[in-house]
Structure 1
C-alpha cells in the first residue's frame, strides 16, 4: 500500500476539523495592514513635509529593532508594511506552526491518527493532508491581505508582495512545526519550542541585528534569520520576488525532512526519547507535587531563561532613544500611546512590559495545559486511581502554572530597566518597574483562572484561552497605535490595572480582578473534581 493511500479521506477529515481555525485567523490577520493604512494620514498629515517624520524613523535604532528594516517609508505602502507587516507576518508564522501541530501531533495525542491508520490509509497521508490544509490557510491569509490592500488604493505589485510575505512566513513555520511535531512526543512541547525558540528566539535576534542599524557589521546576519526574509523581500520598495523563493524552498526542504523523520519514529512517540532514569525514584517523586515538578522542569527553565534574557535585551534598546527621537512629536506620541506616560523612555519600558506580560501569560497557560495533556494521554487516570485526590493532582500543576509565572513577571519588570540603571540613570526604576509588574498579577491570575475553568467544565474548549491571549497581544501591540477607542484598548485582562511608574496605584481594580481570578480558579477546581476524567 502506498504511503499516501487514502490521502483524499485524510484531507477531508483534516479540513473538516480545522477549517474554522484557519478561517478565523485568516480574517483577523488580513485586517491588520489595512487597519494601519487608515492611520497613515494621522502620522503624516496632508500638506506637511514627510521628511520631518520619516527621516528620524528611518534611522532610529529603537524603531528598527521593534519593526524591522525601513526601506521606502516615503511610499504609503512601504510605510504601512514597515509599521505592521513584520508583526503580522510573525503572527502568521506562529499560527502556521500551531495549525500544523494541532492537525498532526495533537491529533496523535488524542488517538485519532491511530484510528485513521487502522483503515486503508498510508503512513504519511495524515501528515500530507495537514500540510496541504495549512498551506491553503496561509494562501488564504496572504490573498485576503493583498486584496484588501489593493482595495485601499495601494499598488497591486506591492500588495501582492505583502500578501506573499504572510503566506511565505506562514508556510515556513508550518514546515518547522511539522518537523518539531516529529521530534517531540506531545503537542505541548512542540508548541513551546516553536513559540520560544522558533518565533521568540528569531524575533530577539532580528531585533538585535536590525537595531544595530544599516551598514553595521551585523547587517549580513539578517539573511540567516528566516523571520527577516519577508521583510527583506521589500514589499512596496522595489520588490525582491526571489526572496520568497528562499522561504518556500527552505520550507519544502523542512517538509521533506518531516516526512523522513515520520518514517523513522514509532507512532505515538517522538524522535527525542526521555532517558530511562534511575531504577528507583527519588524522594521528590513520592507525590503529585514532586511528579508535577519533574514534568514542568524543562518548560520552567526554558521559559524563565528566555523571558529574562528578552527583558534585559529589549530594555537595553531604551539607551538608543536619542534627541532626534524625543524631539519629534509624532514619533514620541506613537510610543506614548503604547506606554501611556509622558516621559518617552518610561513609556517605552512600560509598553515593552505590557507586551512581555502577555508572553508570561502564554507561559502560564502552556504550563497549565500539562494538566489537560496528562488527562488526554491517560496518565491522570492512572494517578487518580491511587490515593491522590483530584484537588491535589490539579493543584500540583496549578502551583507551577501560577506561582512561577507570577515570580517571572516581577523579575521581567525588574530586568527591563537594568541596562538604563547601569548606564547611570539610577536604580530606583528597577524597584518601580518590579512593582509595576507586580501590579499586573491579577490579570495573570484571571487568565489562568479562565484556563482552569475551561479544564474543569469544558475541557474540549480549552483552546479558547488562546483567543484571550491573542486579543491581549493585539491590544498591547496594535490597538493603541491604531487609535482604537480607549475602551477597546482596555478590553483585556490588564487594561484597567495600574502600572507603576506610569500610574498611581489604584487598589480597587487590583482587588476586583484578583477576586475574579481566584473565583474562576475555585470554580474550575470544583468542576475538575466533579466531572468524568476521560483517558485514552
Structure 2
C-alpha cells in the first residue's frame, strides 16, 4: 500500500517519547512489584494470611486481580496484573484516538489523503503501530518476570495477557473515533469503557466463590464480560490457560471490523454520533471567558461525577456483601472478627474507595486545565486573548472551573455514599462521617494535581498533558503500591492520595493535609504569576 512504510515511520518518530514512557513505566511497575512482593510476602504463611483477608473483604478485589493460589509468582500476578493491563489499555486507546479522530480533527488526515497514499493507509498504519507497541510491551513485561526468577511459561502468559488487553482497547479507541465527532469525545468514551471493564472484572471477582482453603476464587459470570476478566482467568503461574486471553484477540478483530465498516461510507470529518447543532446566537451567559470555560467543561465534569457517584455508593453498600460471605464461610467470619478488632472495617473500606474518588477528581482537574493547552494548540485561545482578556484571567478561569469540577466530583461521591449508607441505619451516621472526611481530603489531594497541571502549562506548555497524566499515575502507584513494594514512608507519603485525612474511630487524623494545602496555594500562585509573561505556544 503506497506510503505505508513512510507513514508508519513518521508516527513512530512522533510517538517515541510517549510510548517509551508508557512501556518503561509498565515494565518498571512489573519489575518493582516482583522485588517488593518477594520481600514483603516471602513465605507461604504470609501469602495465606493475605489471601484469607481478601476472601473476608472482597472490596480488595476491586483493586487487585483474581486469587489463584499461594505460589509466589501467582500471588504477584494477583496483586499487579490488573494495573499492568490498565496501563497497556490507556496507552492503546490514546494511541488509537490520536492517529484517527485526532489527526482527522486537526486536518492531518486530509493532507495525508491528498497524497498518493490510499484512503485506508492511515487506518492500517494505526493498527500496525498499536500492535507493535503492545507486542514490545508484552515482550518486556514477560522478560521482567523471567528476569525476576519467575517460570518461563507463566512469564510469557503474563506478557501476552498484558498485550492482549492493550490490543483490545486499541480496537475500543478506533471504534470510539468513528462514533464521536471530536478526539475529546472519543477519548472520554474510551476511558469510560476502560473503567467500566475494570470495575466489572473487580466486582465479578468479589462476587465469586472462595475455595475452602481460602486461597482461590472462582469468579462469577460478571467477570467474563470484561477483557480484564478474560486475562485474569488465564491464571498465570497456576493453570496457565491461554484460551481466555485469545478472547481479547477476537474482541480486537471484531471492534476493528466494526470501526472499518463505519468508516467506509462516511465523509471526512463526520461521525456516527452527529455533532449537536449550536444556537444561532450565543447565550447571554457566554459573554465571559469563565462562562465559556464552564460550557466547554460541563460534559466531561458530568462524566467524572457519574463515576464518582457509583464509587461512593459502593463504598458504603458493600459491607453487606462482606457480612454475607462471612456468614457463609466460618473461616472468613473469624478473619472478619480479627480485622474488626484492629480497627473499623467499614471506615477502612470507605477510605479505600475514596482514594479512587480522589483519582477521578484529579482526572477531572487535569482534563479541565489541559483544555487550555488544547485551546492554545488549536488556535482558538489566540482569538480570545486578542480581546481585552488578560492571560492571567484566562488561565485562572480554567483553574477555578477545574476546582469546581473537583468539588463536584467528590460531592457526587459523598451523595453516592449517603445513598449506600441509607441501607444500613445502624451505622449510617458513622459511614457518612467517614465519607465526609474522605471526600474533603480528596478535594485537597486532587487540587494538588490541578495546580501542578497549571504550573506545567505555564512553564512547558507542550508537555502539559504527558507530564500531568504521568504525575497522577506515579502518585497512584506510590499511594496504592508503595507499601506493597516496601518503599520508604517518605516516598509513599509523597503521593497526595496517601496522606489525606481519614477518620480513625471517632477522631479525625489530618495526616499530611497541611502540606497539601501549602502545595496548592504555592502552585496556584506561581502558575498565575508565570502566566503574565508567557507567550502563546503553537502545537508542535
* TM-score, normalized by the shorter chain, greater than 0.5: yes
Q: TM-score scaled by structure 1?
A: 0.86
What does residue 449 of structure 1 align with? 451
What does residue 213 of structure 1 align with? 208
What does residue 61 of structure 1 align with? 58
Instruction: Quote the offset at 1:527 in angstroms.
Output: 4.1
- Pairwise mapping of residues 70-81 of structure 1 onto structure 2 (< 5 A)? 70=67, 72-81=68-77
Instruction: Quote the offset at 1:141 in angstroms.
Output: 1.7
Q: Deviations along 1:319-365, whole A, 9 cap, x unmatched?
A: 44456558549x969xx9xxxx9433322322222232122101111
Instruction: Quote the offset at 1:247 in angstroms.
Output: 0.8
Q: Please list every run of 5 or more consecutive structure 1 residues that lacks an aligned counterpart in the other structure.
A: none
Instruction: Quote the offset at 1:413 in angstroms.
Output: 4.7
What does residue 194 of structure 2 align with? 199
- Decide which moves more: 217-226 or 421-430: 217-226
Q: Distance in 1 between matches of 2:143 and 2:422?
A: 47
- Pairwise mapping of residues 41-440 of structure 1 onto structure 2 (< 5 A)? 46=43, 48=45, 54=51, 57=54, 61-70=58-67, 72-195=68-191, 197-214=192-209, 219-321=220-322, 324=331, 328=335, 342-413=343-414, 415-416=416-417, 419-420=420-421, 422-423=423-424, 424-440=426-442
Distance 1:528 1:52, change over 3 A: closer
Aligned to 1:439, the other structure's residue is in SS state helix
Q: Distance in 2 between matches of 1:522 and 1:261?
A: 48
Q: Distance in 2 between matches of 1:477 and 1:285?
A: 41
What does residue 213 of structure 2 align with? none
Instruction: Quote the offset at 1:108 in angstroms.
Output: 4.3
Distance 1:454 1:40, change over 3 A: closer
Instruction: Quote the offset at 1:110 in angstroms.
Output: 4.5
Distance 1:393 1:262, change over 3 A: farther
- Decide which moves more: 476-485 or 99-108: 99-108
Instruction: Quote the offset at 1:164 in angstroms.
Output: 0.9
**Contact persistence 1:177–1:190 (CA under 8 A):** yes
Aligned to 1:427, the other structure's residue is in SS state helix
What does residue 501 of structure 2 align with? 498
What does residue 13 of structure 1 align with? 10
Q: Distance in 2 between matches of 1:244 and 1:507?
A: 44
Tell me the number of residue pairs that the alignment of Structure 1 and Structure 2 aligns: 525
Distance 1:103 1:488, change over 3 A: farther
Note if 1:514 corresponds to 2:510.
no
> What RMSD in Å do the two structures reach over aligned CA positions?
3.4
Distance 1:149 1:506, change over 3 A: closer
Aligned to 2:209, the other structure's residue is in SS state coil
Q: TM-score scaled by structure 2?
A: 0.86
Instruction: Quote the offset at 1:120 in angstroms.
Output: 3.2
Q: Distance in 2 between matches of 1:36 and 1:120?
A: 48
